[in-house]
Chain A
Amino acid sequence: MELRISSAACSRDGAPDVELMINGKRQDVQQGATIAALLEELRIDPLRVAVQLNLKIIKRERYAQTALHAGDRLEIITFMAGGSG
């Protein structure tokens, strides 16, 4: 699944795509796309998730300032059904 982040959300128009890992899957996003832009593109409510970038938890207020780069490993976590039982 390819993700095209609208150029309006990015720092540079026409920036090349970079490959990173999102929830264990390789994805292409535009270089410099922010976490906030990505969540919007994916139609994910930021109030229902936690985000971990390269093993570091990113605070919600930093989503719009945190840009994604090639080779990043992003985990978007939420509450799902289940338990050990």
Chain B
Amino acid sequence: MEKDGVLTFAGREFRSRLIVGTGKYPDYRSMQRAHEASGAQIVTVAVRRVNLDRTRESLLDYIDSAKYTLLPNTAGCYTADEAIRTALLAREVGLSDLIKLEVIGDQRTLFPDNEDLLKATKVLVKEGFVVLPYTNDDPVMAKKLEEAGAAAVMPLGAPIGSGLGIRNPYNIKIILEMVRVPVIVDAGVGTASDAAIAMELGCDGVLMNTGIAGAKDPVAMAEAMRHAVIAGRLAYLAGRIPKKLYATASSPIEGMIE
């Protein structure tokens, strides 16, 4: 069996296929330990006002820039304009030219507004950003995002933070067949098997935050996810047996005791 390659997009290579977030941790120290346990090399961050109260700790003090690639996101943006403005500010900070593009269409489901997402993707690609758009599991949309220049497509498995896992594996499989850029499942992963399932489908990576940060023991869950992503990828490459309705005996008939 060929040894697995690396996650590649926009000319960058990453050994880990797990991308993690920074939100919802009890504190920065546990976040740092969870990141470590996850083996992730890419970490998503939000773009927000500086806290003028200087007694509060700074997130960036807990993310080693030598170890991790920062992936700023446009969380909280509901229009293309807001997302574009946020992306420009994120790039101006000067620590990353990647952008995880989120344009939210609905407050309760946090599903993407695909229309504005596509608009913003086109503008930001033209501005030279490496755009990773968070979208739904619509293969037609995924193809449009790829054609618009997205460096990867990131279909949701289930609503953000819902922990429902991969709700529509069939659509994800179709997306994998229809696009050439990496497909990274983003949102909805609740436990290790969800991540493994995403990788077994053939996805190039998995992005999660709540699944780890919200777990009772985030550091242990981060480690579980690390194994799950590796196991799922290996299983995919190993070529699973087909699913059959009836049994196929494993032992030969000859030599049976009479």
Contact, CB under 8 Å: A48 / B46: no
Interface residues of A in 35-72 (CB under 8 A from B): 42-44, 47-52, 57, 59-60
Interface residue? B6 (CB, 8 A): no
- Minimum Cβ distance to chain B for residue A45 (Å): 9
Contact, CB under 8 Å: A84 / B47: no
Residues of A within 8 A of B22 (CB): 81-83
Q: Is the interface of B mostly helix, strand, loop or mixed?
A: mixed
Interface residues of B in 215-239 (CB under 8 A from A): none
Residues of B within 8 A of A16 (CB): none
Total A-B pairs, Cβ < 8 A: 114
Identify which of B92-100, B116-124, B140-148 touches chain A. B92-100
- Minimum Cβ distance to chain A for residue B246 (Å): 42
Chain A interface residue bracket vs B: 20 to 34
Interface residues of B in 33-53 (CB under 8 A from A): 44-52
Residues of A within 8 A of B54 (CB): 42-44
User: Which of B48, B52, B160 is packed against the most chain A CB atoms within 10 Å?
Assistant: B52
Residues of B within 8 A of A24 (CB): 49
Interface residue from A23, A79, A85 paired with B161 (Cβ < 8 Å)? A85
Q: A49-B50, A76-B50 are in contact. Are A84 and B92 (CB under 8 A)?
A: no
Interface residue? B201 (CB, 8 A): no
Contact, CB under 8 Å: B73 / A83: yes
CA distance A13 to B226 in the complex (A): 59
Contact, CB under 8 Å: A82 / B23: yes
Interface residues of B in 47-77 (CB under 8 A from A): 47-52, 54, 58-60, 70, 72-73, 75-76
Contact, CB under 8 Å: B110 / A84: yes
Interface residue from B93, B110, B209 paired with A79 (Cβ < 8 Å)? B93
Q: A42-B52, A50-B92 are in contact. Are A81 and B161 (CB under 8 A)?
A: no
Contact, CB under 8 Å: A79 / B89: no
Residues of A within 8 A of B90 (CB): 50, 77, 79
CA distance A77 to B93 in the complex (A): 8
Contact, CB under 8 Å: B93 / A50: yes
Contact, CB under 8 Å: A84 / B102: yes
CA distance A22 to B90 in the complex (A): 18
Contact, CB under 8 Å: B102 / A83: yes
CA distance A37 to B52 in the complex (A): 15
- Minimum Cβ distance to chain A for residue B194 (Å): 13
- Minimum Cβ distance to chain A for residue B222 (Å): 15
CA distance A77 to B52 in the complex (A): 11
Q: Which 3 A-B pairs have the closest CB atoms?
A: A85-B160, A50-B92, A82-B23
Chain B residues at the A interface, C-beta cutoff of 8 Å: 21-25, 28, 31, 44-52, 54, 58-60, 70, 72-73, 75-76, 88-95, 100, 102, 104, 110, 134, 160-161, 187, 208-210
Given contacts A52-B89, A78-B47, 7 further A-B contacts (CB under 8 A): A50-B90, A50-B93, A77-B48, A79-B95, A80-B45, A83-B46, A84-B160
